[in-house]
Amino acid sequence: WAPSDSGLGASQIGDLVFQPGNSSIVYAATDAGLFKSIDNGANWTSLPGTVPFINKLALDPLNPAIIYAATNAGVFKSIDGGNSFTAMNNGLSTPVRTVAVNPVTPNILYATVGGSPYFKSIDGGASWTLNLIPLASRIDSITIDPNTPTTLYAVTNGGIFKSTNSGSNRTQLNTGIPN
């Protein structure tokens, strides 16, 4: 391991995301906002107009200029590669822990908040619908299967759950995972 933080003026990094199709471009979600590297993380530049305390990032796989930032103040969307962001919180509660983009239909998004419900958007974040999951666990992240985007995985403090129908039903996948 070697340090790779030249220009990265943040004390807490919540996420690193590579740009689809160009692995030399890396984004860092930090407590000081969004940073971008164009040289595989050797040097970083703070992007203007970002919000602080970004928990997680998600990039549109079909249009890398579209970036979603999950923050304590909600979901923010950039359509210009992170130079400016717009709040996308209609129907969404906060704080937002994570956001995930459907790899085939990027207008479909999932966001998790501080409990077991999650929110879904079918219009690129313009509006959100609450989806209640009767779990006794806090959802920390949602991951979408890139080959079968109706299959979701929810990582919770009570284990891993899988849904094969976009979250409507789920089964627990804890075999072999210690408590």
- Give the pair of three-digit tokens for residue 167: 């979250």
Exposure b/e, 25-49, CB count within 10 A at least 16 = b:
bbbbbbebbbbbbeeebeebebbee
Q: What DSSP line would sit under 12-50, residue for residue?
A: -EEEEEEETTEEEEEEEEETTEEEEESSTTSB-EEPTTP
pLDDT at 10: 62
For residue 168, give the H/E element and its range: none
For the entire predicted model, the pTM comes to 0.88
Per-residue pLDDT tens digits of the chain, which is 179 residues long = 667 767 776 678 889 999 988 989 999 998 888 999 999 988 999 988 778 789 999 999 999 999 999 998 999 999 999 999 999 999 898 889 899 999 999 999 999 887 667 899 999 999 999 887 666 677 888 899 999 999 998 888 878 888 898 877 777 787 766 66
pLDDT at 179: 62
